[in-house]
Structure 1
Amino acid sequence: MSEIIYLTRIETFSAAHRLHSVHYSDDENVLIYGKCNNKYGHGHNYVLHVTISGKLDYRSGMLMNITDLKSLIKTEIIDELDHKHLDMDVEYFRNGQIVSTTENLCIYIWKKLEKALNTFNNDKNQNQSIKLYEIKIHETDKNTVTYRGE
């Protein structure tokens, strides 16, 4: 059998950020980002969906133990981002070259989890077909960004 399964874990975290690009003047930043360019930043209660895919392990009946996936997300993402200021506390965004938009946050989380999942698979000799399929972040109830590693 070769059924492909998609497994999603949902987690939440709270973080602050300021939308500001070093590639624009201060006036351009205000024009482009509006109130989100507040020099002290603003915060969100993010909802993160992490979806993995792969072939079902018929011995266990699982794609991946959800406890292991939860642990990976917690140690790689939540512990680093929760109750932090993305532009001040996260090296990826700190120098201002990468604006801490939700789009860029999706890409950052993808890179970290893809690497961690590959390491986990190798360390645990897991099903090598397990892949990161999608990162989805709800920034607000009305704004959602999805990234699939393209």
Structure 2
Amino acid sequence: MVYLTRIEHFNAAHKLYNPRWSKEKNEELFGVCANENWHGHNFDLHVTIKGTPDPDTGFLMDAKKLSKLINEKILEQLDHKNLNLDVPFLKDMMCTTENLATAIWQQLTPHLPSEVQLHAIKLYETPRIYVEYFGE
């Protein structure tokens, strides 16, 4: 089994806020991330696929095609957007990095060639905080 990772980058704003809770409870749990005027991150997205390299090309998947797929299905939806307001596949969801990584998995999986499988989504919210999701 060979693993190939493509790294992409996007910027987006969001707010962590549960509308069922009071402003005070949201601020207590989410702190500055509950800021009513939003806040942003410079996200780094690592998409790892796995499979067996093609005997004719030696590629697991052409990395340029993987990048194009990520750009079309994910980055065009997320980059320079408000995750809470602008992204249909995040509607009615708490826009945590955990939920975002899971949603990215769900958006990419149906569009990958049958010869490969999505292995992991690693999403850096900051250089010190990231989430990994393995489709489980």
Which residue pairs with 1:146 in the alignment?
132
* Unmatched segments (≥5 aa) in structure 1: 122-127
* Unmatched segments (≥5 aa) in structure 2: none
Task: State the Cα distance separating 1:130 from its structure 2 match.
Answer: 0.6
TM-score by length of 1: 0.87
Q: Tell me the distance in 1 between the aligned counterparts of 2:70 and 2:117.
A: 14
Q: Specify the SS of the correspondent of 1:39.
A: coil
Considering only CA atoms, is the larger Rg found in Structure 1 or Structure 2?
A: 1
Q: What is the aligned-residue identity percentage?
A: 43
From 135, 140, 145, the equivalent of 2:121 is 135
From 89, 107, 111, the equivalent of 2:106 is 111
Q: Tell me the distance in 2 between the aligned counterparts of 1:107 and 1:145.
A: 10
Task: State the Cα distance separating 1:56 from its structure 2 match.
Answer: 1.4
Structure 1 vs Structure 2 CA RMSD: 1.1
Which residue pairs with 2:40 in the alignment?
43
Which residue pairs with 1:125 in the alignment?
none
TM-score by length of 2: 0.95
Q: Tell me the distance in 2 between the aligned counterparts of 1:92 and 1:80.
A: 9
1:25 aligned onto 2:29: no
From 87, 91, 97, the equivalent of 1:102 is 97
Which residue pairs with 1:59 in the alignment?
56
Superposed CA offset, 1:95-132 (max 9, x none): 3xx11000000001000000121xxx2xxxxxx34100
Contact 2:46 2:121 in 1 (8 A): yes
Task: State the Cα distance separating 1:53 from its structure 2 match.
Answer: 0.2
Q: Specify the SS of the correspondent of 1:136.
A: strand
Which residue pairs with 2:73 in the alignment?
76
